[in-house]
Every structure is written in C-alpha cells, then in structure tokens.
C-alpha cells in the first residue's frame, strides 16, 4: 500500500485529488480488503503503463492510483485538460486492453462498493460478482465511509456498476481509444 507522501511525490507538480487523499486515509484504517482485488498502489516507475508506451506525452497524461485486480491490472486517472479530480478513470488490463470505467474518482468509488474484481480485455471492461461471493472484510465500513464523506450510496448490483461504466464510456471511451492508439497501435 502506498502512502500519502508517495502519492504526493508521484503526482508532482500536481496535487493529489482531495477525494483520493480521503480514500488513502480510510484505507490506512483497514486491515484487509474493502473491495475485491482493489489495492491502493502507485507504479512510481510506470512499469505497467510503459508496456503500452514510454512516450512522455502518454505517461504524463496518466496517474496510476491502484491495482484493479489480483492479476496486475490497474486503475489510472486520465488527464484530459481538466482538474484531476474531474478526470476520467481508466483501467489497464494485465493481459491487455484499456478502457474508461468511470467519469471520475467518485464514480470509481461507487463501483468499488460492488466488492468485485474488474475483468478487462481488448474488447471491454466489466464487473462481475457471483451470487455466492463473500463480502470483503471492510466492505461494510467502506460503504458507510462513502455515504458519510461523499453522500454517495453503494451500488445495489452488477447492473448498477455496469451503468456507471456505460455512462462514462458514452462520454469518454471513443476519445480515450483514439488517444491511446496514438501511442499503442
């Protein structure tokens, strides 16, 4: 788990979005998972992103913020000329594929209440939670924290999480894919 200081160094000269700082602080109070496969972790050397492109223009537009699953996929903020707190969240698959998954950090925070890993490939990114899945140790605490700090409700099911992804993709996916192809054809 990366510390606030590590995030501050990684984001320089930008500031770490306030919502992400709150999540880092919450995470520090947890002894286990609060959402399956999600772990706050930055890739200081951008090793994962460099598998797509090492070009500075590419790397400077993405801020890895967390692991998205237990296989090495990651979430990143995609800078689009707006404040980082308002920028889209993209997911990069460990086996390939990259897609927009949320309009912003708060959209991702809601998705995380599903307490399910993301599945990413070249065709898309989906969330799936088996009906018999056991909740993560900190899932209930996380949902309460999200409601208290951001007045956001937990998603009810996979369909609601999918709707967050779909809504974000309607606005940003095509632009992201066009942008990504400039670096990773």
The string of DSSP codes covering 153-183 is PPP-SHHHHHHHHHHHHHHHHHHHHHHHHTT
In this prediction the pTM is 0.95
User: Distance (Å, rounded) from C-alpha 94 to C-alpha 38?
Assistant: 14
CA distance 10 to 151: 28
Q: What angle do CA 133, 93, 125 make, to 5 degrees?
A: 60
In 3D, which of 109, 154, 102, 152 has the Cα closest to residue 125? 102
Q: What is the pLDDT of residue 81?
A: 85
User: Which pLDDT does position 161 carry in this prediction?
Assistant: 96
* Separation CA 149–CA 33 (nearest Å): 19
| Ranges of the chain with pLDDT below 70 | 1, 185
User: Contact, 88 vs 102, CB < 8 A?
Assistant: yes
Whole-angstrom Cα distance, residue 64 to residue 11?
Answer: 10
| Closest to 150 in 3D by CA, of 113, 99, 115, 118 | 113
Residue 136's pLDDT is 95
What pLDDT is stored for residue 185 in this prediction?
A: 62
pLDDT score recorded for residue 130: 87
Cα dihedral across residues 36, 42, 47, 49: positive or negative: positive
Q: What is the DSSP letter of 184?
A: -
């Amino acid at each position: 788990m990366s510390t606030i200081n590590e995030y501050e160094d990684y984001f320089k000269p930008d500031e770490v979005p306030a919502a992400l700082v709150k999540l880092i602080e919450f995470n520090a109070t947890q002894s286990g998972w609060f959402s399956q496969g999600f772990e706050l972790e930055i890739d200081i050397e951008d090793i994962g992103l460099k598998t797509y492109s090492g070009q500075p223009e590419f790397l400077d537009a993405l801020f890895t913020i967390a692991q998205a699953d237990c296989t090495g996929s990651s979430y990143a903020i995609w800078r689009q000329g707006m404040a980082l707190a308002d920028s889209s969240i993209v997911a990069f698959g460990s086996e390939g594929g990259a897609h927009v998954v949320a309009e912003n950090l708060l959209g991702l925070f809601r998705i995380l209440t599903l307490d399910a890993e993301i599945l990413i490939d070249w065709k898309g990114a989906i969330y799936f939670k088996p009906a018999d899945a056991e909740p993560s140790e900190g899932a209930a605490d996380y949902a309460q924290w999200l409601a208290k700090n951001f007045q956001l409700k937990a998603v009810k099911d996979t369909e609601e999480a999918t709707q967050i992804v779909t809504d974000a993709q309607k606005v940003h996916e095509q632009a992201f894919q066009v942008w990504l192809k400039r670096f990773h054809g």
